[in-house]
Structure 1
Amino acid sequence: MHSGPFRQRQGGLARRDDARQAESVLRVLTRYPAITATVAVGLVVLGLSLAGQSAAGRWLAILYVSGFIVWTLIGMVRDVLRGHVGLDILAVVAMVATLAVGEYVAALIIVLMLAGGEALEDYAGRRAKRELTALLDRSPRIAHVIVRPREETSDEVRDAAADEVRVGDVLLVRPSEIVPVDGVLLTESGTFDESSLTGESMPVSRAAGEEVLSGAVNGSRAVRIRAVRRSADSQYQQIVALVRDAQESRAPVVRLADRFAIPFTAVSLVIAGAAWGLSGDPARFAEVLVLATPCPLLIAAPVAFLGGLSRAAKAGIIIKGGAVIEQLARVRSAAFDKTGTLTQGRPDLVAVRPAPGFDADDVLALAASAEQYSSHVLADGIRRAAQERGLGVAAATEAREVATNGVTAVIGGRTVVVGKPAYIAALAPDTERTSLEPGQAAAYVAVDGRFAGALVLADDVRPESRDVVEWLAAHGVERIVMLTGDARATGESIAHEVGITDVHAELLPTEKVHLAAQLRPRPVMMVGDGVNDAPVLAAADIGIAMGAKGATAAGDAADAVILKDSLAKVVDAVSIGRHTLRVAYTAIWIGIAISIALMLVATTGLIPAVAGALIQELVDLTTILYALRALTGPASGLRVSESRAPAAAA
């Protein structure tokens, strides 16, 4: 007796399905208006021909194709004014030729082919950059702010937009939700999926006090975090900004296609002209040119580069545009920073050496208080050491960081400066350099204009560093150097461990930039992290930032950002660049070879103009399918020796 309501529900679902299907069809028709208009005109022309009005159909086709030719010519003029001469001239000549010899159906097919080529490019492009857009789609929008923390099960919570969260707010992140802003974990422990940030497929565990990055997906347990950055400054939003730059950047595809444009156009016109001259039939000219339309060149390369960008994003590397991929594929020299790049970037405090009149714990506590406001990798080791020793960290009334030199903070009415020896010596003339063992670095401290002492830290070499250097040397990178601001003894010790023989130490940022500019052969790839590397990353042909720890300035200045804290991703970036460029060139050559072969066959009159236009669509599809191979590719072949002890190569 309930069959009536059931049928009504079924009918309602069916109507909704029909409405969705109609919406999808309408969306496709409006997304590609040129295809819609061309198909409509073609159907009208066919209908007029069947009704015995072939003359009217012919004139309709001529008017429509002529309008399309004018529109294409306007676009060509705009391109020429911007200094870009492309391949559209072939398409225009083919359309004019087909109309001139009365092949108006072939002319309509060429228009459909060009419009369809754009649609294929759009579809393949969306398929290729799926990994990039996935990041944008998952951007955190809502945060659960705990207003009155009580028992873990009865917090008073209000929902707020992610960009309204302030530093210090306590947030509740429920199971399977996205962490809205960077924060410190307050709950005893938690498990997070950071694959969208680092490319790491396995969930990672975090303990209370550890940082949790925005964009990570919480596991099966609700957790609390305290916000340490606003949404705009958080890791995920910075990655989203990089992705948006990568999507909007103009890939080198146009330049890549342009390298073939003039020769291909010339060869096509010569073949078509020869066919006309030898046969005496002007229709032969049109039959050849319909097979010379430039879609393979215009479409295949952009699809390949988008595929390379997407593959890199999936691997945890954000590459800012196709031009960077092309440079990565051609890299011939590589320069590395030391701290945080070739080394772990997690230095441990070895010794506190106070100056006369200062206590070791006081020096460490003051330094740690000042280093709260520094982004340098040594600062983390100093803060961590103070925490492990139970020393209190005081807030500053004023603080500023001088990039590459040090940090100044006013703490309890005392001016504390922590930084490089030369910087401290300029402020405290009584500064004395401390002796260092190989692999050690020192941060010098001044208090109220007096030298207070030095903090000695040691940073282990990354286990993958030597393997990365060896891979680059074995794969065509002719020169590998270290550019570091640290002491020469420290730099040479680390360089020896990783297999680098060309070391430039105790460099200022301007000296790094100068040396990077002088390196030969080119292109030069520079790999670094932190604020102090931003100038040289921007100056290099390819700047790669180790961005896993949130070095904003370095990420902004770099051409590519590695989201996972592993130097092995540098090898992946170079490998992806080479594979992508190889696929792009191969796709172009496949399109050219097939088109020329078909043009030569068409000179004999075996391929009518209409058939030739349809065959050319298959050529387009072939080159696009090949270009999508950039989404996948062979592994780099890097074998990281995880068990290698840092000193094994010494």
Structure 2
Amino acid sequence: MRRQAAPPTATGGSPGSLDAEGPAKSPVEKAWAFVRRYPVVAVTCLVLLATLVLLQLGLELQVRVLASAYAAVIVVVRSAGMVRSLREGRWGIDLLALMAIGSTVAVGEYLAALVVILMLTGGESLENFAQGCAARELRSLLDRAPRFAHREGAGAVLEDTPIGEVAPGDVLVVRPSELVPVDGELLSDSASLDESSLTGESLPVERSRGQLLLSGSVNGEAAIRMRAAATAADSQYSRIIALVEEASNSRAPVVRLADRYAVPFTLLALAMAGTAWFLSGEPLRFAQVLVVATPCPLLIAAPVAFLAGTSQAAHKGIIIKNTRTLEQLAKAQTAVFDKTGTLTSGRPVLDEIRVAPGQGEALGNQRILQLAASAEQYSSHVLAASVIDAAKAANLSLLPVQQATESATHGVEAVCDGQGVVVGKAALVRSLSTGFREAAVHGGQLAVHVAVDGQYAGALVMKDPLRRNAVDTLARLRSLGVRNTMLLTGDAHATAAHIAEEAGIGRVQAECLPEDKVNTVAAIQERPVLMVGDGVNDAPVLAAADVGIAMGAKGATAASESADVVVMLDDVSKVAQAVAIGKRTVAVALVSIWTGIGLSLVLMAIAMTGFIPAVAGALLQELVDLATILNGLRALHGADWKPGTDLKPAPPPRPATSG
């Protein structure tokens, strides 16, 4: 049977794992967690409940004192934060709410004050709740970072040394499936490494003695020796972590949707309330108008719509970590894609079989593939599974193997159904066969050579193909207003240009390091910018983009933790669906806001005449809130799309260009 690689562990320079989730919480624990997370909402509910109980007992004076004192505390505490915001030039919707609370307390309408407080704090809690658990930006990267290295001591004895104590010149051993702990020089004859998380190249990378190894690469099936060339802090993996931190901290804040309507609504409400007071001569009239003018539609409408939008997205396998991301998705102008694992499947497949004259022609395509796949059962090379899958897809049964010997990282020799078979790299097959010919491959292709009974038979050409729904997804994005597209990858330019042409992407930037990707995205003029990628190498640029979208289905947790949106399914069409959900959610939120404002204006006009008491006004305002909530919940539906359906005509993409 084919050998399987052991899962990496946290020690010995390999990746760690995230903490396991704890046991399910009881209702009491959930309630206590809610109180700790939203203490003001909980206390407001408690005070409101106590007020209603005391009123039933006829203790009106105690009710007045309790409610008024609590409202006064809220006004004082919130005023400090409001003043800081005003000094920073941020005019929010708190001013009108605080004036409504203060005015109702001043005229003795304490129940109305409590209702306004509940709406103020409850709306913010809804918005905060919708953001989910997005506070662990860097945890995945830090957990995966190597903690120890196997350093050779006296007498070639291995010592597990903390990664921070590794110095340039130290000789290290990297075991199979472990992460390379620091940048260094390869001392072994050869090594097969998975650098996909660093460079985006899905095919295995072969290194020979003296070549540079990058920290964060995953070693193959054979242990290797290396000489450290840098400390952990100066190595590639640590630089990626630093880039993520820097990009996350430098991301500009986005103004809340409701705040944009705060100034005109506040000025209009104050003008109407002041006019009512002036014409009637009663300060109570001022409070009555402000109560129905309390910006509950602004406080509630957008959070409810955004909560509904994020819920709908989650049901479709799209995790949107914060509500502001929905606004950015709705306004997106540019979509930037990584190649490997994003636009492509990330797993090589058989592209073609090159048959050599003589032995290859005598055997034929199917026999060559069958023999190669049978021998590859005993290979630990990462391409072995792809060869076996190709044989199964062709309905070819695997032949019995009498004996097999693997040359680590080079290939395998086997006797299959009585025939001698050699499968692997050119060097191995050339040395064990006659008539060898080097197979010409294009960008993104890799040849697996095959010899049978000592004669060269041909090559299996592998490639990482474009996802079948990638073209439809890009067309859908263009129909949604995302007119500019770009391919940004660490892969070779020839491969990147070919994939971009197939997908219909306008611009290409290839052979990029993580720093290059961050700089390129920062320089894009058409914003907001969506960046779609996976792997550790994409983590910094996902954090730097206006919206980072991680294809997290294959466990690319570093990218997932750095992103604003995580696609939990291995389906790139979910990117277009996320944009569609963002557009619909914002549209629903705006309708809710304008509906709430319109109803509030009608109530304010009536309150100016004195026909709506403050408590009744607060209750009527609750009906306005209910209308905005019900409308906001419409974001739970719609924005559904499957690749290849309901596409609007889109302009043809521009030819792929570099830069």
Task: Mark yes or no: TM-score above 0.5.
Answer: yes
1:306 aligns with 307
After TM superposition, the structure 1 stretch with the greater mean CA deviation from structure 2, 566-575 or 254-263, is 254-263
Q: Report matched runs for 1:543-582 at 5 Å.
A: 543-582=548-587
Q: List per-residue Cα deviations over 1:231-272 (Å, max 9, x = no partner).
A: xxxxxxxxxxxxxxxxxxx99897223222333222211111
Quick one: distance in 2 between partners of 1:28 and 1:522? 37
**Does the Cα contact within 8 Å between 2:71 and 2:102 map onto a contact in 1?**
no
- Which sections of structure 2, spanning at least 5 residues, go unmatched? 1-25, 135-250, 356-370, 393-397, 413-423, 426-437, 450-458, 647-654
Q: Secondary structure at the match of 2:115?
A: helix
2:471 aligned with 1:466, yes or no? yes
Distance 1:587 1:443, change over 3 A: farther
**Does the Cα contact within 8 Å between 2:297 and 2:625 map onto a contact in 1?**
yes
Q: Report matched runs for 1:191-210 at 5 Å.
A: none
Quick one: distance in 2 between partners of 1:555 and 1:471? 24
2:282 aligned with 1:272, yes or no? no
Letter in 2 for 1:628: L
- Which sections of structure 1, spanning at least 5 residues, go unmatched? 1-19, 49-55, 133-249, 354-359, 372-377, 397-407, 412-417, 420-432, 445-453, 642-648
- CA deviation after TM superposition for structure 1 residue 464, in Å: 0.9
2:261 aligns with 260
- CA deviation after TM superposition for structure 1 residue 87, in Å: 3.1
Quick one: distance in 2 between partners of 1:531 and 1:42? 55
2:525 aligned with 1:520, yes or no? yes
After TM superposition, the structure 1 stretch with the greater mean CA deviation from structure 2, 265-274 or 386-395, is 386-395
2:614 aligns with 609
- CA deviation after TM superposition for structure 1 residue 476, in Å: 1.0
**Does the Cα contact within 8 Å between 2:119 and 2:296 map onto a contact in 1?**
no
Distance 1:120 1:516, change over 3 A: closer
Distance 1:555 1:32, change over 3 A: closer
Distance 1:553 1:385, change over 3 A: farther
Distance 1:279 1:443, change over 3 A: farther
Q: Report matched runs for 1:375-386 at 5 Å.
A: 381=386
Q: Report matched runs for 1:226-625 at 5 Å.
A: 255-349=256-350, 369=380, 371=382, 381=386, 435-437=440-442, 440=445, 456-625=461-630
Distance 1:438 1:370, change over 3 A: closer
Letter in 1 for 2:258: A
Q: List per-residue Cα deviations over 1:489-539 (Å, max 9, x = no partner).
A: 333333222222423334344333332222230111122233343333333
**Does the Cα contact within 8 Å between 2:127 and 2:303 map onto a contact in 1?**
no
- CA deviation after TM superposition for structure 1 residue 635, in Å: 2.0
1:34 aligns with 44
**Does the Cα contact within 8 Å between 1:442 and 1:456 map onto a contact in 2?**
yes
Distance 1:68 1:110, change over 3 A: closer
- CA deviation after TM superposition for structure 1 residue 613, in Å: 1.9
**Does the Cα contact within 8 Å between 2:548 and 2:564 map onto a contact in 1?**
yes
- CA deviation after TM superposition for structure 1 residue 111, in Å: 0.9
**Does the Cα contact within 8 Å between 2:305 and 2:589 map onto a contact in 1?**
yes
2:67 aligns with 64
- CA deviation after TM superposition for structure 1 residue 569, in Å: 0.7
- CA deviation after TM superposition for structure 1 residue 468, in Å: 0.9
Quick one: distance in 2 between partners of 1:85 and 1:115? 21
Distance 1:326 1:598, change over 3 A: same
Quick one: distance in 2 between partners of 1:621 and 1:125? 20
- CA deviation after TM superposition for structure 1 residue 473, in Å: 1.7
Q: List per-residue Cα deviations over 1:22-78 (Å, max 9, x = no partner).
A: 999999999844234334334534654xxxxxxx83574155313322233213314
Distance 1:485 1:379, change over 3 A: farther
- CA deviation after TM superposition for structure 1 residue 94, in Å: 2.5
1:9 aligns with none
**Selected match of 1:93 from 86, 91, 99:** 99
Letter in 2 for 1:96: G
**Does the Cα contact within 8 Å between 1:338 and 1:483 map onto a contact in 2?**
yes
Q: Secondary structure at the match of 2:292?
A: coil
Quick one: distance in 2 between partners of 1:385 and 1:277? 84
- CA deviation after TM superposition for structure 1 residue 120, in Å: 8.0
Q: List per-residue Cα deviations over 1:473-493 (Å, max 9, x = no partner).
A: 222112112223333333333
After TM superposition, the structure 1 stretch with the greater mean CA deviation from structure 2, 559-568 or 338-347, is 338-347
- CA deviation after TM superposition for structure 1 residue 97, in Å: 2.7
- CA deviation after TM superposition for structure 1 residue 615, in Å: 0.8
Distance 1:115 1:475, change over 3 A: closer
Distance 1:331 1:580, change over 3 A: same
**Does the Cα contact within 8 Å between 1:487 and 1:506 map onto a contact in 2?**
yes
Q: List per-residue Cα deviations over 1:245-304 (Å, max 9, x = no partner).
A: xxxxx9989722322233322221111111112233322212211111222222222222
1:211 aligns with none
**Does the Cα contact within 8 Å between 2:577 and 2:639 map onto a contact in 1?**
no
Letter in 2 for 1:72: V
**Does the Cα contact within 8 Å between 1:253 and 1:322 map onto a contact in 2?**
no
Using the size of structure 2 for normalisation, the TM-score is 0.57
Distance 1:615 1:93, change over 3 A: same
Using the size of structure 1 for normalisation, the TM-score is 0.58
**Does the Cα contact within 8 Å between 1:386 and 1:392 map onto a contact in 2?**
no
Q: Aligned residues: percent identity?
A: 46
2:4 aligns with none
2:635 aligns with 630
Quick one: distance in 1 between partners of 2:45 and 2:597? 25
Letter in 2 for 1:333: T
Q: List per-residue Cα deviations over 1:345-398 (Å, max 9, x = no partner).
A: 331255799xxxxxx99xx98996465xxxxxx7964797899897979798xx
After TM superposition, the structure 1 stretch with the greater mean CA deviation from structure 2, 433-442 or 260-269, is 433-442
- CA deviation after TM superposition for structure 1 residue 630, in Å: 2.0
Letter in 2 for 1:324: T
Quick one: distance in 1 between partners of 2:521 and 2:576? 20
2:59 aligned with 1:44, yes or no? no
**Does the Cα contact within 8 Å between 1:346 and 1:380 map onto a contact in 2?**
no
How many residues are treated as equivalent by the alignment?
A: 446
Q: List per-residue Cα deviations over 1:568-614 (Å, max 9, x = no partner).
A: 11111111111122222222222222112211222222323232122
Q: Report matched runs for 1:12-31 at 5 Å.
A: none
Q: Secondary structure at the match of 1:318?
A: strand
Q: Secondary structure at the match of 1:561?
A: strand
2:110 aligned with 1:107, yes or no? yes
Q: Secondary structure at the match of 2:293?
A: coil
Quick one: distance in 2 between partners of 1:579 and 1:382? 44
2:173 aligns with none
After TM superposition, the structure 1 stretch with the greater mean CA deviation from structure 2, 560-569 or 71-80, is 71-80
- CA deviation after TM superposition for structure 1 residue 315, in Å: 0.5
CA RMSD after TM alignment: 4.9
Letter in 2 for 1:272: A
**Does the Cα contact within 8 Å between 1:124 and 1:624 map onto a contact in 2?**
no
**Does the Cα contact within 8 Å between 1:471 and 1:571 map onto a contact in 2?**
yes
Quick one: distance in 2 between partners of 1:39 and 1:637? 48
Distance 1:334 1:125, change over 3 A: closer
Q: List per-residue Cα deviations over 1:289-339 (Å, max 9, x = no partner).
A: 111122222222222222222211110112222232222111101122223
Q: Which has the higher contact order (CA 8 A, sep 6+)?
A: 2
**Does the Cα contact within 8 Å between 1:45 and 1:58 map onto a contact in 2?**
no
**Does the Cα contact within 8 Å between 1:587 and 1:623 map onto a contact in 2?**
yes
